[in-house]
Amino acid sequence: MTDSGDVDGEVGPDEAREALLALRREVAKAVVGHDSAVTGLVIALLCRRHVLLEGVPGVAKTLLVRSVAAALSLEDRRVQFTPDLMPGDVTGSLVYDSRSAEFSFRPGPVFANLLLADEINRTPPKTQASLLEAMEEYQVSVDGTPRPLPDPFVVAATQNPVEYEGTYPLPEAQLDRFLLKLVLPLPPRDDEIRMLSRHAEGFDPRDLAAAGVRPVAGVAHLRAARAAVAQVTARPDVLAYVVDLCRATRSSPSLRLGVSPRGATALLLAARSWAWLSGRTYVTPDDVQALALPVLRHRVAVRAEAELEGVTADGVVSGVLGAVPVPR
């Protein structure tokens, strides 16, 4: 982890908010569009939770994560998940040193602030499961010894929605560990023209410094922001609204699996972070609605017969949002 984001003295909540909001402008120097995905990654960092990025190849998923890490002065690592990847390739392993005749621990790429798990659904379940402890307990256990991960620690995993051959779909238990599932669409025409113009001018996505991306926040800002988010309140009727939304998914005839209580907690957590980023100290129903789709879409499972009729998880969640009464 680099230290350029830490400053002497305490960082106030207003300063932290301004720095995190400036992040979007900084990332835009390298990534055209995807403002909502940048905000989603910031919310995940504030909540100490993880993000699943879904999009076809070439929509800048990797560049987005690298740019956010650079603008936050965080250490990032990338792991390409493949069928032959082993758990030790992610978490680290014990290595025998012939000189000392002892085993020493060699940390894996998971020991970073921002881990990019690229194409996570291309590796077998055993290797996918190697991240479960890291994502939930913020530690990894090798040979029975727990080893803490750095703070902050966030997994940003990517998956391709169009290629199914040779993939291993993530189980519900692992999907539930992701705070948000962000869908990165193909860019509109104007954005694609802007992107090509940058490349025509010599933009190199491997050289973010040359693109002008600089650190505008750091660990101290994240810590101050987390402390401020912890003070954001929610009225009882807003809490009941979150619960009613999640319970409504459990009774949907189109779903074989609805949102768990963990999902309700995740929705409230994300809504509090969004409320604070918006300059408020309380959660509104609008905050809940703004985060409902990315928080809930991957926590529901559509019945096979409903899928044949064109029903999607996004459609069911949107329908629930339209059906559950909104508190006033």
CA distance 119 to 134: 18
Residue 109 lies in a domain: yes
pLDDT of residue 14: 94
Same domain, 137 and 30: yes
Range of the domain at 258: 232-323
What pLDDT does 139 receive?
A: 95
Residue 3 lies in a domain: no
- What is the predicted pLDDT for the residue at 116? 95
Q: How many domains does the chain have?
A: 2
For position 4, what pLDDT does the model report? 40
Claim to verify: residue 250 and residue 201 sit in the same structural domain: no
The answer as to whether 8 is a domain residue is no
Residues 210 and 242 in one domain: no
Residue 206 is predicted with a pLDDT of: 87
> Do 78 and 38 share a structural domain?
yes
What six digits make up the tokens of 311? 């029903």
Which of 207, 226, 245 terminates a domain? The answer is 226
pLDDT by residue, tens only, the chain of 328 residues: 444 444 435 889 999 999 999 998 899 999 998 999 999 999 999 999 999 999 888 899 999 999 999 999 999 999 999 999 999 999 998 888 888 878 888 999 999 999 999 999 999 888 998 899 999 999 999 888 899 999 999 999 999 876 666 688 888 888 999 999 999 999 999 999 999 999 999 999 888 988 889 999 999 999 999 999 999 999 999 999 999 999 999 999 999 999 999 999 999 999 999 999 999 999 999 999 999 999 999 999 999 999 999 999 999 999 999 999 999 8
pLDDT at 7: 41
Tokens at 252, concatenated? 């949907």
Between CA 319 and CA 245 the distance in angstroms is 10
Evaluate if pTM is beyond 0.75. yes
Structural domain includes residue 87? yes
**Would you tell me how many other CB atoms lie within 10 Å of the CB of residue 227?**
13
| Residue 238 belongs to domain with CATH number | 1.10.8.80
